[in-house]
Amino acid sequence: MSSVRPAWQGRPGPGLRLAKVVALAVVVLLVLFPVWTVVATSLAEPGDVVANGGWVVWPHGITFGAYAEILDGGIVTRALAISAGVTVVGTALSLTCTVGLAYALSRPGVYAGRPLLLLILFTFLFPPGMIPLFLVVRSTGLFDQYAALVLPFVVNAFNLVVMRGFFQSIPRDLIEAARIDGAGDLAVLWRVVLPLSKAVLAVVGLFYAVAYWNRFFEAIIYFNDQSKWPIGTVLRQYVTGGADLTGEAALVSAPQSTQMAVVVLALTPIVCVYPFLQRYFAKGVLTGALKA
Structure confidence by residue, pLDDT tens digits, 190-210: 888 888 888 889 889 989 999
Name 94's Cβ contacts closer than 8 Å, sequence gap at least 6.
153, 154, 155, 156, 159, 208, 212
Task: Please give the pLDDT value at position 5.
Answer: 61
Task: Please give the pLDDT value at position 168.
Answer: 87
If you average pLDDT over residues 256-264, what whole number do you get? Answer: 85
Give φ, ψ of 174 to 5 degrees: -65, -40
**pTM of the predicted model as reported, rounded to 2 decimal places:** 0.80
At 264, which amino acid appears? Answer: V
Q: Is 119 helix (H, G, I), strand (E, B) or coil?
A: helix
Q: Are 245 and 238 in contact (CB under 8 A)?
A: no
Show me where the domains of the chain are located.
9-63, 67-291
Q: Are 288 and 200 in contact (CB under 8 A)?
A: yes
What CA–CA distance (Å, rounded) separates 227 from 195? 41
pLDDT in tens, 74-98: 788 889 899 999 999 999 999 999 9
Smallest CA-to-CA distance from 152 within 103, 86, 201 is with: 86
Written as one string, the DSSP assignment of 112-176 is THHHHHHHHHHHHHS---HHHHHHHHHHTT-TTSGGGGTGGGS--HHHHHHHHHHHHTS-HHHHH
CA angle 166, 167, 169 (to 5 degrees): 65
Task: Please give the pLDDT value at position 33.
Answer: 92
Average pLDDT value over all residues in the chain? 82
At 251, which amino acid appears? Answer: L
Q: Which CATH class is domain 67-291?
A: mainly alpha
Question: Containing H/E element for 125?
Answer: helix 113-125
Residue 270, CB-side half-sphere exposure with 13 Å CA sphere: 20
Taking residue 254's Cβ as centre, other Cβ atoms within 10 Å add up to 19
